């Protein structure tokens, strides 16, 4: 049984790095390409609640219809904002990862390390060349 799920966009470097970090623990997560298979309202509401973040903080601006839809306006309720994300899944910021240790929006990608149940098995460098995990499986730059 898979204990890890990632709401993934293969076109996003951060999402690809997070998926690779999960796989670097030896786990193969359930991968949901949310642009092709968006969550339903109940699932999206559960994810937001599990992350303990305001709905507005899950909205992605870059490369989305955020500005065209006027989503900066405080008039929109959480329910309405979720409705916009369901209509336009590109508005859902990514990647969202669910593990037995928690649910997080993993930006930056290293955030996923805090909720992975198993340790990193090898060194890991992000696509942009930034080292995240050393050869001993320890997080780089964090005591």
β pairing state of 96-99 and 102-105? antiparallel
CA distances to 12, 17, 63, 115, 137 from 131, rounded to whole Å, are 18, 11, 27, 19, 11
Q: How far apart are CA 113 and CA 57, in angstroms?
A: 21
Distance of alpha carbon 22 from alpha carbon 1, whole angstroms: 15
Looking up tokens 């409705």, which residue turns up? 83
Helix (H, G, I), strand (E, B) or coil at 52: coil
Q: Determine the 3-state secondary structure of 71 from DSSP.
A: coil
> Which are the catalytic amino acids?
12
């Amino acid at each position: 049984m898979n204990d890890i799920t990632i709401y993934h966009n293969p076109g996003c470097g951060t999402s690809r790095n997070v998926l690779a970090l999960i796989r670097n623990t030896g786990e193969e997560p359930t991968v949901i390409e949310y642009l092709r298979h968006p969550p339903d309202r109940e699932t999206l509401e559960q994810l937001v609640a599990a992350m303990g973040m305001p709905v507005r903080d899950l909205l992605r601006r870059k490369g989305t219809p955020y500005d065209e839809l006027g989503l900066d306006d405080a008039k929109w309720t959480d329910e309405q904002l979720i409705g916009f994300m369901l209509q336009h899944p590109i508005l859902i910021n990514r990647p969202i990862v669910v593990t037995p240790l928690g649910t997080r929006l993993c930006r930056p990608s290293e955030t996923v390390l805090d909720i992975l149940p198993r340790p990193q098995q090898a060194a890991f460098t992000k696509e942009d060349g930034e080292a995240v995990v050393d050869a001993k499986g320890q997080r780089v730059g964090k005591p």
